[in-house]
Amino acid sequence: MRKIPNSKLFVSEPPPQWFGNESNPPKGSAPGWTNENWLKSRFHFSFAEYNTHKNADYGVLRVMNDDLVQPGRGFGTHGHANMEIVTYIVEGSLTHKDSMGTSESLGRGSIQFMTAGTGVRHSEHNLDKSNPLRFIQMWITPNAGGLAPNYGSHETSPDERKNRWCRLVGPVPGAGANAGTAPVQINQDAGISVAEIDAGQTLPLSVPAGRQAYLLCMEGSAADGAGGESLERHDAAELEAGTELNLTAGEEGAHLLVVEMAERAGSGRKDL
């Protein structure tokens, strides 16, 4: 397990005008705000103003952004193409609208995907006026260009995530390992699972031969066995083929997400 500590992530707090938002309210004047700027985003890989070839991707995982959006703010309509975009909601409610006619709001434990393909325009907002929104957005390089745009989502219950891995994303039929079996299916040999582990409980995680994985601690903390490496909130880890972990949650429990994919030699962060 190669730990990527929170301190190594790039933190972006762009001006509100970049995405069509009103100016930030005066400090302490807006109920429900947990950050002075409308957005606080942690970039795991090169993205936007964080531009570096030393941290471009991990396998087919091209982007992982941990976004905290304040009440009544969001991302105005913008475009994407030739990417599989998957978003997991950690807290709050995310409202999505796109050029395919989709409009829906999703809460904690839900996941959405968008095959941008030949081109899609969409917006993402936190319409709640009192509570922040936090979500993890991942961009996965598709196995082909020029795909037809597509959108889908899936909601999970707390019981489905409790002390076990809940598989949310997998490849479309014919695209890779365990193809066609996940509730959300993308055009790449990759999968995404989440788990919420109670304090003191242990959950194993194995990375088979020929695979690699990227593990994110979204909430709480987890340690690999007695005296092993630990991950706190916002920490991540690169996991090579053959990795065997026993993740024990800390006093506040642990909310974890793992992206697993076909192994690709030479990928991963070069600047630790």
> What does the pLDDT look like over 123-156, one tens digit per residue?
999 999 999 999 999 999 999 999 999 999 999 9
Q: Using CA of residue 210, residue 109, residue 217, residue 66, what is the dihedral sign? A: positive
Q: What is the mean pLDDT of the chain?
A: 95
Residue in the structure block whose two tokens are 């991990």: 58
Domain boundaries, the chain: 2-262
**Among 259, 116, 247, 123, CA closest to 182:** 259
Q: Using CA of residue 7, residue 262, residue 260, residue 135, what is the dihedral sign? A: positive
- Establish whether 78 is an annotated binding residue: yes
Residues 223/229/234/236 CA torsion (nearest 10 deg): -110
User: How many angstroms separate the CA atoms of 38 and 193, rounded?
Assistant: 29
Overall size of the chain counted in residues: 272
- Establish whether 80 is an annotated binding residue: yes
Indicate the residue type of 95.
T
In percent, how much of the chain has pLDDT > 90? 90
- Please give the model's pTM, rounded to 2 decimal places: 0.96
Average pLDDT over residues 161-187: 92
- At 266 the pLDDT is 87
- At 256 the pLDDT is 98
Query: Using one digit for the tens of pLDDT, what is the confidence trace for 178-192?
Result: 888 899 999 999 999
Q: Does domain 2-262 have CATH number 3.90.1170.40?
A: no
Distance (Å) of CA 221 to CA 32, 147, 206, 218: 25, 39, 19, 8
Query: Using one digit for the tens of pLDDT, what is the confidence trace for 8-17?
Result: 999 999 999 9
- Establish whether 154 is an annotated binding residue: no
Query: Using one digit for the tens of pLDDT, what is the confidence trace for 203-256?
Result: 999 999 999 999 999 999 999 986 789 999 999 999 999 999 999 999 999 999
pLDDT confidence band for 176 (50 / 70 / 90): confident
> CA triplet 104, 176, 187: central angle to 5 degrees?
35
Residue in the structure block whose two tokens are 């996965």: 140
- Establish whether 96 is an annotated binding residue: no
Measured in degrees and rounded to the nearest 5, phi and psi for residue 16 equal -60, -35
